[in-house]
Amino acid sequence: MKKSLAASATLLTLALTGGLAATSSPALATAAGTSQARATSGLTPAETKALAAELKTLTAGTSTVAAQLKTSLDLDGLGGAVDEVIDPSAYSCNAATPVRTWLNAQSADWTPEDRDLAAVIRSLDPVLNDAVLWPQDAGSSYGVSGEFTRPVTHTFRDLGRFWDIDSTAIRLTPLHGAMLTDRAKLFRVFNVGYGLPASIATAWADEVATAMNQPKFRFGNHPYFTFNAFAFQGLTIPGFGVVPPQIVMGDGVLAGFQALGFADVTAQAVLAHEYGHHVQFQRDLFRTTLTGPEATRRTELMADAFGAYFLTHARGDALQAKRIQEFNQVFFQLGDCGFTSANHHGTPNQRLRSAAWGYSVAANAANQGHVLPSLTFASLFDQKLPELVAPDA
């Protein structure tokens, strides 16, 4: 995905804000002097509810840094208007794939107040903002315990050798939910990213860290907050500096597929897809006559095909038949049924077909040692696209 693998309506929602006046709210009133005593017990249900309500006010304005970041992350340029051009009745689609079922089960012990607070934090996404704006501080390990570091870094290296683009500027960045209990990082996001005054940023950072510092939120490391991966083109923000092109890999999405038994291919499959977006960035492959959901679907399915071609190719990851079936399942399970959404990535069946087609291009090539130029591969994909997205009926 270009932006996010979340099962919710949007792939990446950055509800960002500008200045916020001090309030005398119940949640903020607790910030001075009492949160340290609550560091191990977290917030009460009433405090959790109040904090969620007040965090929602952060959608009221937009700061310079956050606004420019959000604009750059809206890479498909679709904005708000969506053309409802895909007929849902023509497709067989069930988004309740095992990985989404697994993700939902991880929050089975949450109260309604917990769910509301988590949803607000996910929509504001301080974890993502911190990683994108300050990637130099994100570290170099992947997975909550670093268990995916080797496959991620090795695959990233191999992708740089495989595709005919400049890989030197692309930064690989982990997405760790543990920053949700790091008051310094939360303060930085609220103060610089959201433009809040220092006193308010301090109070919010203290409250969020206290709320997240509980076993039910896994001390910030709950996969709900990092079930995410995306490619980012980079930009320069006046008054802030350069935000480099990146691929961000979330702990949550890696953990989800590990739990389903796909640990040996997940990092490779997800990373190969995201790297495909950087091929599209550099080769101007987002340009299309398609609009709305159809345009995004094309982009995402092409990235699936790019990924599968690399994973299968003798000069890429050269995966064997059994593992090829596994990485096809990774793409299948990330399909969605958001036919009218600007972020529609394709149905599970379409994603499976696109990955299988990318596999076949590599497997059936007469010259197994030849890597197709990226523009040639993209042209072949566009010729195949009508068949890949044909109605299931």
pLDDT per residue as tens digits for the range 246-281: 999 999 999 998 998 888 888 998 999 999 999 999
Least confident residue range of 13-27, 43-57, 188-202, 343-357: 13-27
CA-CA distance, 205 to 184, in Å (whole number)? Answer: 8
CA-CA distance, 247 to 233, in Å (whole number)? Answer: 9
Q: How many other β-carbons are positioned within 10 Å of the β-carbon of residue 161?
A: 10
Mean pLDDT throughout 288-302? 88
- Full-model pTM: 0.85
**158 versus 72: which is more confidently predicted?**
158
Residue 20 pLDDT > 50: no
Mean pLDDT, the chain, rounded, equals: 81
pLDDT tens digits for range 140-180: 999 999 999 999 999 999 999 999 999 998 999 999 999 99
Residue 309 pLDDT > 90: yes
Residue 108 pLDDT > 70: yes
Sheet strands (E) in the chain? 171-175, 229-232, 235-237, 241-243, 246-250
Mean pLDDT throughout 330-334? 73
Domain boundaries, the chain: 26-388
Least confident residue range of 184-188, 291-295, 325-329, 355-359: 325-329
Question: Residue 197: is it exposed, middle or buried by C-beta count within 10 angstroms (0-12/13-18/19+)?
Answer: middle
pLDDT of residue 64: 61
Assign 378 a pLDDT band (cuts: 50, 70, 90). Answer: very high
Parallel, antiparallel or unpaired: strands 235-237 and 229-232:
unpaired
Residue 27 pLDDT > 80: no
Structure tokens that stand for 380 in this block: 């072949």
231 DSSP β-pair partners: 247
* % of the chain with per-residue pLDDT over 90: 48
Residue 210 pLDDT > 60: yes
